Amino acid sequence: MTAPAHSCPATAAATAPQPDLAAIKARQQATWASGDFAVIGTTLQIVGESLAEAVDLRAGERVLDVAAGNGNATLAAARRFARVTSTDYVAHLLDKGAARARAEGLEVDFQVADAEALPFADESFDVALSTFGVMFAPDHPRAAGELLRVVRPGGRIGMANWTPEGFIGELFRVIGAHLPPPAGLRSPLRWGDEAALVELFGPQAADIRCTRKLFNFRYLSAAHWIDIFRRYYGPTHKAFAALDEAGQARLYADLERMLLTRNVAGPDSLVVPGEYLEVVITRR
């Protein structure tokens, strides 16, 4: 989808209880620090490469990767000779990204930072990137405002965000059926909705371009996927840890049913297409 910022209707704000965002953020930080997201994150590298091309990244540009995790967009930008600063609020994920950068001989500045309070001056960067990262910040307007603030006029914001209709959207609904999210918290999947992005960025965007894409999760079987995500993916890891034995069995069964329904590889392997929104915003 390609649309000027002013041509899409904004979504109406729903009346909801006001959650304790500071407490939620602390819980989220503990969630993403649990397991070892880097095991899964490295499989998503192709998304960072695609995003770097979508924003037409140029050598020498100042690039900020926000909620970078283990550095997929970071590495993609550094491979294109950009001057990259990689940030996340989980230090050990940045350590994983730094190890990857060293292995390739890439120069990157790694810095612990919160997506909702970026420690950089206004208009410090030509490009801000985030792959499946900033969408999980609990205060959506504040996180969007920080991305806009640190990018110069005419600069670009590139994001990859899971869609509500896609596989990860369903995964979070399955988890939420067993462990409901805090009351009043807006879903991170709103960042995968075009109209919601216009609401967040439209007033300061010269252009918003959205393309629906697929990332294929490739595993040996449904059981293999569940084992990996149960051990290493923070939200799934925490969900299993919070349930008793019977609850874990029910969650396992629901995840297995979801995976088998979405599998396009037949009985001998697992390939599950995961839809995401590739977003390029040009700042006014």
Please check whether residue 133 is in contact with residue 158, taking contact to mean a CB–CB distance below 8 angstroms: no
CA distance 112 to 94: 8
**CA dist., res. 279 & res. 276, Å (int):** 9
Q: Mean of the pLDDT values across residues 201-221? A: 98
Q: Which of 154, 157, 160 is closest to 206 using CA atoms?
A: 154
Distance CA 100, CA 79 (A): 12
Looking at the chain, the whole-number percentage of residues with pLDDT higher than 90 is 86
Could you tell me which of 131, 84, 75 has the C-alpha nearest to residue 104? 75
Report which DSSP code applies to 265.
S
**pLDDT tens string 233-259:** 999 999 999 999 999 999 999 999 999
State whether residue 90 is helix, strand or coil: coil
Please, which pLDDT band fits residue 17 given cuts at 50, 70 and 90? Answer: low
Contact between 31 and 238 under an 8 Å Cβ cutoff? The reply is yes
Helical H segments across the chain, by residue range: 21-33, 37-41, 45-54, 72-79, 91-104, 140-150, 167-178, 194-201, 222-232, 234-242, 245-262
Mean model confidence pLDDT for the chain: 93
- Asked which of 28-42, 168-182, 223-237 is least confident by mean pLDDT, the reply is 28-42
End-to-end CA gap in the chain: 20
Q: Is the pLDDT of residue 189 over 80?
A: yes
Fold of 18-169+184-217+277-283: Rossmann fold (3.40.50)
* pLDDT higher than 60, residue 38: yes
What are the domain boundaries of the chain?
18-169+184-217+277-283
pTM above 0.75, yes or no: yes
- Model pLDDT, residue 34: 84
Q: Which of the pair, 220 or 22, is modelled with greater confidence?
A: 220
